[in-house]
Amino acid sequence: MNDPIHFFCTKAYPMKKNHITNRYKKGDLVYAKVRPCVTLVVRLYVRKVYYCAIHNDPTANELVYFDSELRPYLGNLSIVKCQQQIV
């Protein structure tokens, strides 16, 4: 432990922590890639998982998504995608 080389290596090159921040904050509007018609509200972010509620539907169950499964809601953009899928 008192070895000078070991001391130098640990001080000069500390281990980097994987600091991953969540992309969406609590209250942000998003939609899932699989269901772009449904607008979601981010309720909670825990352990790389987003817990979302359906916008304007308090009786609906909570939905759980990973970051890669969500996209930001940009007004009518997701509704246009939904209409294109139906046609």
* % of the chain beyond a pLDDT of 70: 63
pTM: 0.65
Higher-pLDDT residue of 37 and 7 is: 37
Structure tokens, 68:
């890669």
Predicted confidence (pLDDT) per residue in 7-16, tens digit:
555 555 555 5
Predicted confidence (pLDDT) per residue in 61-77, tens digit:
999 999 999 999 987 65
Band of residue 45 on the pLDDT scale cut at 50, 70, 90: very high
Domains in the chain with CATH codes? 20-86 (2.30.30.30)
